[in-house]
Structures are given as structure tokens and as C-alpha cells.
Amino acid sequence: MKVGTYKSAVEPMILTKMSDANRLQVTSYLGSMYDHFLTSISKSRGINKDTLFNYANQMVIQQPEDALKYKLVDGLKYKDELLAELKTHLGVDQKKNINSIDLIDYGKADETAADASGNRIAVIYASGEIASGEGDDNSIGSETISKALRKVRTDSKVKAVVLRVNSPGGSSLASDVIWREVALTKKVKPIIVSMGDVAASGGYYIACAADSIIAQPNTITGSIGIFAILPNLQKLLTDKLGITFDGVKTGQFADLGDSSRPLTPAERAILQNMINHGYDDFTKAVATGRHKSQQYIDSIGQGRVWTGAQALKIGLVDRLGNINDAVKSAAKMAKLKDYKLVTYPEQKSVLSKLGESLSAEIKTRILQSELGEDYKVYEQIKNIKSKMRLPMARMEYDVVVE
């Protein structure tokens, strides 16, 4: 069950190729991304955009020498040659090393002076799939992010918040829980969203309540839609394996979702109604946050995926930029000149993380040794099972640009 013509998250489960609607949207956002690539390279290298397209289309750049010939690079050097050139530019003796500083240390160089004001801007990192509970290093736990938002909301030293979102979405319930905390924070202090590679579906849901949304030109966003997956294993269990099921129940819908049989029309109607209700909540939240009508949000929603550049044109984001631009915007809204950046969620101790990683690794190794090549199948089933019977606001596939 799904809502949205373009909500293609369910397609890998029911189709063997892309639907026409999905092909249309992928062609659209891929074209937008490619145009940004060509425009950026054209500006930096001083090469006509059409010429760049022809280089790629005809694959004229095949060797490093080709890249030099067509002015995509300025030289061909080994590392020792590059270091020697740097020393010459810096006036450093060729026999001596170049003085350097680690990027992290460089970033901390004037942290003490900035902290003297007592003003802070909190940066909350929300990376991974959205799930209920605490989450882990690879997922966004609704409790963990909510706790971080509550903490910065009540901290008088924190004058503004930047929420860095890099997520394809996940549980619609968990997304709604985080959205609520973002909305409450907005009432107390400025909160700016900075979108990473992807902030789609539930990732957009948690962003839409912020004061302002800043995306990269090629951020994958939108995908405003809801879906749910229910398995029907009757052909496998009964027809293939000869396993049959029977039972008694106390009410007509007591066994709703039983995977040993197909859904009845009445059951499908109930579940579709639940999905429709989730979509209505989603579009209302976006409409409120973006100051648009729900009808308009529905027209650009329908599960359709957009790039950051496209999202700017249709009003889903406010401007294009990176996380530094989001921090500057937050400081401007809070009228701060001097401030210190603090990050959340708080990092676990090295020993705690080491213990957790060792435990997880041991569990994984045991399963791999038991299942062998079937471990990949187990992982796929586990991934599908985690999405069963739960309304999801997620992109089911990952966008990889090569």
C-alpha cells in the first residue's frame, strides 16, 4: 500500500523494472544533478558546458594525458613532484619538510576566544535511516535526536540550532516524533536545517518544521509519501512447501496482516486508509512549515524525488549552500558575532563504543560462519522484515552517482 504516483519505494518488491513515473522522476533529478556538475566544472575550468557534455558523451578523456590536453587538469605529477612545487611556492628549502597542521586542530585554533562569550550554536547530526528508539552509529534514533533537541532547547547558552540531516527516511512514526521536537525548538530559538547528500521522505519530514532549510544543489530531497509492505507467502509456504495453516479468531480482523494468505478487500481498505492518513499528516506538516497550501504540497509531493536545485524552485528549501552557510545563517538569526559550536548527540566513550562494536562484530561473525553464502540472503530478509507492517516514509533505494 502506498500514497503517491512517484512513491517508488515499493517497486523493488513488486516490479522487475522501473515504472514509467519513476523513470520520469529519476530522469528529471539526474538531469538536474548533471547540469549542476557541468555548470560548476564549466565555471572553474573555463570550458563551454556543451563542450564538456561532448567530452563525456564521446568519452574523449580516457587517459591522464587526455585530461591535460582538454584542460580538465593543470599538470601530471607524482606526489614528490607536487611537494617540491609546493616548497618552491612557499620558499621552503627542498631538504626540509613543509609545516602543516591537522584540519581538526586548525578548526579549534580560536575556539577558546569564541567560547569566552558564552554563546553557543548547537549542531545536531541526524544521519542514517530513521527508526524508533535509541538508534546507533548508522541510524537516527527518534529518542536520541529528540533528547538532543530537548537539551539544546532548554540550554540557555545555546542561542541557535543547526540540524544536519543526511537521511533517506524511515519509520513515519519516528519521523513524526522528531518533527514535533523540531517544531517545539523553533518556538524557543532559531533552528536551521542543513541538508547533506540526501534528506528525503522522513528525512524531509523532520526538516520541514525548521525556520529555514539550506540544501546542496545536488541534495536528493522531497519524496513526500508513505508506504507499507505486507508479505503474502501463501504460494511459497502452501503451494511450494506444502505447509498449511488454520486457526480460530475472536473477530473479523483479529489476524489482519497474516502472511500465510492474501489480504481481503476489507483488510486492504483498512490498511490503505492508514497510509492515506499518514500522508495527510505528512503533507499538513510540510504545508504548515513551508507556508504553503496542503493542496500545493500534494501536487509536488506524491512521493516525487527532487534535487536541491529543483526543490528551491518549488519552495521545499529556502536557499542553496553547505553546513557552514547554515551555521552563519543561525548566527545571523540569533544576532551572534562570537560563538562556539557544540555537537550533538553526545559521543559515547571510546571504551563504550569499543565494547558495542566488538559485541556486534562477534554476533555477525557467528552468523556468517553458520550461514555462509546465505548470510547475504539473511541480511536482505532482515532489511525487508524491518519494514513490514509499519507505515514508512522512506526512499527504498540509495542513489549512487558514478
CA–CA distance, 340 with 327 (Å, rounded to integer): 11
Whose cell is 551555521? That residue is 327
Calpha distance 222→394 (Å, rounded): 10
Q: Is 167 labeled as catalytic in the residue annotation?
A: no
Q: Which of 322, 396, 346, 349 is nearest to 145 (CA)?
A: 346
List Cβ neighbours of 272 (8 Å cut-off, separation of 6 or more). 1
Pick the catalytic residue from 167, 171, 201, 329: 201
Residue 192 near residue 326 (C-beta atoms within 8 A):
yes
Strands 169-171 and 392-394: antiparallel
Whole-number Å distance between alpha carbons of 273 and 2: 10
Name the residue among 175, 164, 213 with its Cα closest to residue 341: 164
| CA distance to 119, 127, 144, 159, 302, per residue, from 111 (Å) | 12, 25, 27, 17, 45
Q: Determine whether 7 is an active site residue.
A: yes
10 Å CB burial of residue 197 (0-12, 13-18, 19+) is middle
Q: CB–CB of 233/13 below 8 Å?
A: no
Cα torsion angle, 170, 171, 172, 175, sign: negative
Give the amino acid at 160: A
> Could you count the other beta carbons within 10 Å of the beta carbon of residue 123?
21
Which residue in the list 7, 159, 189, 387 is annotated as catalytic? 7
CA–CA separation, 51 and 38 (whole Å): 10
Is the Cβ–Cβ distance between 6 and 303 less than 8 Å?
Answer: yes
Distance CA 220, CA 217 (A): 9
Q: For 18-132, where are the alpha helices, taking DSSP H only?
A: 20-45, 49-57, 64-69, 79-90, 103-107, 111-115
Q: How big is the chain by its Cα radius of gyration, in Å?
A: 25
- Look at residues 7, 386, 398, 347 and name the one whose alpha carbon lies nearest to residue 174: 386
| Residues assigned a catalytic role | 7, 201
